[in-house]
């Protein structure tokens, strides 16, 4: 069984560069089903997972494999129907479809639209519903507030409610606990438990991450911390870290993701220095990261996804005026403008110029558009008068056209004067410049085409990588 500790026993290897945490083997024996569940070692109860999306469904399946009866709750009838048929609607998660089919067939996973009934039947409720940003970069609770309100009538004496959605500091205690108390008529910390435990997962590797990354848990009371930690110790093979409070656990996730955003912002500024001096920034970063205390990330055309571009703003929402955090966000968002400026200069302007954008999802291999930098990139190109086409191997022509760009088919000849890569999909390495006889410039937004052979007269521009340095260091 997972150990519960107060400080992580694993972390940065200090070997420089990328850090890999190995998965832990499962040491759980068969669990004894009990009702109600009170946190006793070797027992399992019923857990409701509210939000059966790309992170919620893997969590539900993981919990079920460790003997818990799981109720997946979602507002989308198609998701509920799929789960109740033993099918995964999440297509890019290795091993998930097989796991969902197995635990459903064993009678430990079902789904419902009725959140209150699920909470009433459950010993533990885990919420993993998105909190995004509004137009002013403030927390947008349009999904989370209704989710909390939907379970509140079912919260009962002995319930444990755990938030896995990344939240601004203090929201577990000050925003959501009072909502639960008001509807249920119960007192948190006396009648039921409330805790925060941040999701720390990477799309495409969720099941492996669950077995590797320490699980951080902080309750609104010591008893709530202990109960939530006991739950995770029963369903996860990784170490469980019982933190001092829900606020400390909330801050830990914001610190993690904000660090990455600031690090990428610094890498993007290093790329600008490299361009000024004709140096390959990727060579510099690899060399710097050979020193044990350096962990510089990679520069690029911008930062997308649900996490890194969002969570610094959640931190700023409760601590405004953090200058480094604000500056890094601005640097990273400005990368698309910088790319457009370089392409415009190479073409003598953008008006009327045919431009091809490769990669529309926020990163390669994940069909997700949240905060993808391709969206403002395409929008700004159109606003500048460019004739924009786009391609992504994960999107249909209709999905591409919904963003305002023409859909391009891989290998189709075209009159494009510029190609801009927004993701580093491996397919793009097979790009043949002969398809585009009028091509003048390739802007390599992820430094992934550095070895691509280009005809004489076609300019290459990377992010901190120049035409004269790209092949030697990348070969």
How many whole angstroms from its chain centre is CA 78?
A: 23
Largest CA distance in the chain: 74
Q: Which of 115, 279, 307, 310 is catalytic?
A: 307
Helix, strand, coil fractions of the chain, as percent rounded to 5: 40, 15, 45
Active site residue 307: yes
Contact 359, 428 (CB under 8 A): yes
Q: Is 11 exposed, middle or buried (0-12, 13-18, 19+ CB in 10 A)?
A: exposed
List the beta bridge partners of residue 243.
Answer: none
Measured between alpha carbons, how far is 368 from 358 in angstroms, rounded to an integer? Answer: 15
Annotate 92-159 with DSSP letters as a single string: SSTTHHHHHHHHHHTT-EEEES-HHHHHHH-SEEEE----EE-TTS-EE-TTHHHHHHHHGGG--TT-
- Token duo for residue 359: 């990669």
- Joined together, the tokens standing for residue 1 give 């069984």
Task: Give the list of residues 6+ apart from residue 135 with CB closer than 8 angstroms, or none.
Answer: none
Catalytic annotation, residues: 307
């Amino acid at each position: 069984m997972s150990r519960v500790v107060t400080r992580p026993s694993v972390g940065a290897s200090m070997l420089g560069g990328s850090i890999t945490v190995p998965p832990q083997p499962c040491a759980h024996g068969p669990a004894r089903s009990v009702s109600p569940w009170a946190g006793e070692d070797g027992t399992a109860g019923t857990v409701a997972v509210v939000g059966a999306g790309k992170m919620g469904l893997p969590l539900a399946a993981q919990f079920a494999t460790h003997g818990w009866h799981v109720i997946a709750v979602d507002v989308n009838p198609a998701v509920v129907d799929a789960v109740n048929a033993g099918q995964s609607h999440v297509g890019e998660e290795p091993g998930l479809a097989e796991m969902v089919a197995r635990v459903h067939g064993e009678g430990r996973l079902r789904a419902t639209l009725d959140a209150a009934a699920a909470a009433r039947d459950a010993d533990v409720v885990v919420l993993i519903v998105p909190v995004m940003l509004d137009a002013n970069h403030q927390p947008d609770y349009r999904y989370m507030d209704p989710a909390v309100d939907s379970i509140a009538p079912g919260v009962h004496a002995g319930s444990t409610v755990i938030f896995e959605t990344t939240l601004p500091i203090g929201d577990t205690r000050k925003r959501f606990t009072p909502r639960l108390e008001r509807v249920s008529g119960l007192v948190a910390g006396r009648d039921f438990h409330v805790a925060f435990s941040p999701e720390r997962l990477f799309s495409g590797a969720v099941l492996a991450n669950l077995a590797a990354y320490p699980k951080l848990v902080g309750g609104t009371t010591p008893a709530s911390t202990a109960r939530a930690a006991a739950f995770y110790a029963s369903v996860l093979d990784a170490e469980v870290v019982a933190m001092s409070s829900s606020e400390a656990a909330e801050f830990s996730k914001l610190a993690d993701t904000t660090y990455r955003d600031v690090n990428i912002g610094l890498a993007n500024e290093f790329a600008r220095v490299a361009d000024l001096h004709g140096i390959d920034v990727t060579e510099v970063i690899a060399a710097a990261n050979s020193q044990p205390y350096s962990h510089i990330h990679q520069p690029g055309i911008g930062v997308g996804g649900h996490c890194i571009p969002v969570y610094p703003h959640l931190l700023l929402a409760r601590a405004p005026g953090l200058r480094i955090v604000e500056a890094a966000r601005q640097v990273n968002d400005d990368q698309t403008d910088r790319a457009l400026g370089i392409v415009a200069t190479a073409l003598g302007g953008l008006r009327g110029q045919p431009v091809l954008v490769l990669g529309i999802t926020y990163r390669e291999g994940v069909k997700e558009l949240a905060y993808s930098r391709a969206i403002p990139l395409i929008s700004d190109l159109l606003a500048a008068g460019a004739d924009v086409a786009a391609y992504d191997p994960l999107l249909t022509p209709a999905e591409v056209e919904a963003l305002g760009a023409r859909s391009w088919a891989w290998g189709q000849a075209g009159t494009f004067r510029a190609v801009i890569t927004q993701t580093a999909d491996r397919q793009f390495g097979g790009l043949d410049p002969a398809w585009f006889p009028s091509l003048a410039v390739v802007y390599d937004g992820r430094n992934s085409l550095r070895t691509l052979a280009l005809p004489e007269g076609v300019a290459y521009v990377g992010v901190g990588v120049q035409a004269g340095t790209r092949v030697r260091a990348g070969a």
